[in-house]
Amino acid sequence: MTEFLRAAIASPRLRHYDPVTGTYLDLAYMEKNILVCSMPTNEFPRVMFRNSLNDLLKLLNLRHGNHWHIWEFRSEGAGYDDADVFNRVTHFPFPDHIPPPFAMIPVVIASMHKFLSQNPENVAILHCKAGKGRSGMMYCAYLIAYFRWTAQSALASFTARRMRPGFGEGISILSQRRYLRYFENWAKDPNREYREIPVVVTEVRILNPVPGLEVRCCGFKEHGRKVVPIYVFTHDDHVGEHEIIGTVAEESDKWQNASEESLDNETEGGNGKGNYDPQLHRTGTHKSIQYQRYHDPSRHPTKNMTGTEVTLRPKGDIHVTADVNIIIDKKFYGPASLSFLRSTAYVWFNVFFEGSHDTGGTFRVAWEDMDGFKGTQKRGSKFFDRMEVDWVICNPMELPAGNQPDAEIDLRSGTDSSSSVNS
């Protein structure tokens, strides 16, 4: 019965049979020195359908002696104590179904590379809950950073080694795939530059939304262990809607300071719709610094966008550092004011890779590129066509207390993982 449950839970992931130990494990050798597996545990009842920690240790000790170390990514808790694995574990916890803070990825793969370079017999074991999204991201990042793979080829390799043929992608969460493309761009940069940029989200625009949407902006706390709501948009943040006809530029040309007069001319007009001009669009203000964005469709790809665009401009500052999460829900209300989730969609992006490092930027995403229930593409019934998010750069000195960027990745041990892993 236990073996049947484990096989059912592991599907459609490939399982590994080891003839020496005589055990099946939800595990795959990505390379001869990198393993990816689902969470191991000895806790009842999870040990009935998850990898047995005893079985995993038996395989590691028999096959690899003392030359193994575990990288664990579950913010829910590892499922075992460090002492259970002889303290050969480093924790980089972040929630399921989302990417980690981008700043965490280079630290993880650097610690892996240091350990694997110390001895050719060393083996790295990566695990999260299912051994797919979070662990798969780190494996792909390792290939990109140290073997110059493209994100696309690394994703395909992970799918081929981890999944049964014809049963979908190994890493299917679109935001995680987006972050791997960011990581590819970072790895191609000779200086491999990355900075945690604090920003203020100034505006959210939604094309062809259905009535009654709930929109909120979230961000990371506790060095990526938690995702918390930062701002929930209300009816008071709704500043108007206008018709979009023809083509609108996919990309923006440039940012520059705007005068009060230009902003007033844009928002005051005789057509009752704020004189909206897709060629000259206000993005918002922060600390009396005003910006406007100039579009030049002749220089950028265009896309037919027709319909009604609703603009949400927050009454208060939305302070976020680097990684931004926008969630949009559609609920219906039953008797006694009970609410039921009908559809949901969310997206993660990083401002360092999406806009100017000195002024601000705009992130655009279509409905089809949003994530849905538990990271799947099951979002429910479609309730908008496209979303755009504007932001401006914020001086770190202007951030409220508690919103300062993390200086370093905080590990559960309180030390840098790259120096805590031994051969």
Name the active-site residue from 128, 140, 217, 218. 128
The phi, psi pair for 228, rounded to 5°, reads: -125, 145
User: Of 94, 52, 53, 101, whose CA–CA distance to 75 is shortest?
Assistant: 94
Question: Which ranges of 189-327 would DSSP assign to H, the alpha helix?
Answer: 260-267
Contact 108, 224 (CB under 8 A): no
The phi, psi pair for 243, rounded to 5°, reads: -90, 135
140 tagged catalytic: no
Q: Which residues contact 77 (CB under 8 A, 6 or more apart)?
A: none
Rounded to 5°, the CA angle 232-374-39 comes to 125
Q: Report the distance separating Cα 257 and Cα 177, nearest Å.
A: 34
Overall residue count recorded for the chain in this entry: 423
User: Of 182, 22, 2, 12, whose CA–CA distance to 106 is shortest?
Assistant: 182
Contact 59, 21 (CB under 8 A): yes
Contact 367, 196 (CB under 8 A): no
**End-to-end CA separation in angstroms for the chain:** 38
- As given in the structure block, the two tokens for residue 164 are 């049964």
* Parallel/antiparallel/unpaired status of strands 247-249 and 123-127: unpaired
Catalytic residues: 128
